[in-house]
Every structure is written in C-alpha cells, then in structure tokens.
C-alpha cells in the first residue's frame, strides 16, 4: 500500500516535469539559430529549411529554392559582389523582404523574388524563384 502511494507521487512528479518542460519549449520565442526574438511565434523552429543565397552583380546563386508547403524557410543573402537583398512582392503570395528572412511557406506555387536594392544596370534581371511544392 505504502509502496504504491510512493510510486504514485513519483509518477505525478515525472508528469509535472514533462508538462513544465514541454510548456517551456512550446512558448520559446527566440530563434535557436540567430538568438534573435522571433515575432511570428507560429514558426516551427525545430524544422527550419535554411538556404544561403550568394548574391553578386547580377545574379542569385542558387536562383531556384525548392521547399514543401508548410516548411519554415530561412533565406540568408550572402553578398559577394555589391549589396543586395531579396524581396517577394506581396501580390505574388509572400510579403517578405530582407537579407535574413524566416517565414512559413504556406502557399504552394512558384514565386519570383527580386533584388530589393538597386545595384546597377542588371538589377532588374536579378531574380530567383521559390518553388513551394503542395
Ligand atoms: Cu542587386
């Protein structure tokens, strides 16, 4: 009788610990890669698809990024030659701009991104495509 009472208390403590640590993990709002605060707390940080895009006059490499719908995507622009940034037009499905952006690819399709910073004569040809497979 006494033994089963003690095991019940131990089981209760273990359950409390699991709930406590689980709660802490689910409410964490800091990007585990950059250490920066994450504004969109719905981002699934445990499974981030990270791509480094080398940017030079006047191309992105790679210029095709392929992910699956629902993936959390992080795009990091690595400027090799000149200063560039990426931009998706809002009316193309994603409202994203910057040199280090993280977002959920929640819409399937092909989405063109552009260089967001005027960088010379070939600026307008500086594009890439995000392919989100549904
Ligand atoms: Cu550019």
Q: Where are the domains of the chain?
A: 1-30, 45-133
How far, in Å, from the CA of 116 to the mean position of ligand 1? 7
CB neighbours (10 Å) of residue 6?
9
What top-level class would CATH report for the domain 45-133? mainly beta
**Residues near 128 by beta carbon (within 8 Å), at least 6 away in sequence:** 53, 60, 62, 63, 64, 65, 86, 112, 113
- At 26-58, the pLDDT tens digits run 444 555 555 555 545 455 566 799 999 999 999
Four-residue CA torsion sign, 38, 103, 69, 95: positive
For residue 11, the CA-to-ligand 1 centroid distance in Å is: 59
CA distance 105 to 102: 9
CA dist 22 and 20 (Å) reads 5
> How much distance in Å is there from the Cα of 126 to the middle of ligand 1?
6
Give this prediction's pTM. Answer: 0.66
Per-residue pLDDT band at 91 (split at 50, 70, 90) = confident
């Amino acid at each position: 009788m006494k033994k089963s009472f003690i095991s019940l208390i131990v089981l209760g403590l273990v359950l409390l610990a699991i709930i406590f640590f689980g709660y802490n993990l689910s409410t964490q709002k800091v990007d585990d890669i950059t250490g920066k605060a994450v504004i969109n707390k719905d981002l699934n940080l445990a499974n981030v698809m990270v791509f480094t895009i080398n940017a030079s006059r006047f191309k992105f490499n790679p210029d095709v990024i392929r992910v699956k719908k629902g993936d959390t995507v992080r795009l990091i622009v690595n400027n090799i030659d000149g200063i560039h940034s990426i931009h998706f037009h809002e009316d193309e499905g994603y409202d994203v701009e910057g040199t280090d952006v993280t977002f959920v690819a929640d819409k399937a399709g092909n989405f063109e991104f552009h260089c967001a910073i005027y960088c010379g004569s070939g600026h307008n040809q500086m594009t890439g495509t995000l392919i989100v497979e549904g």
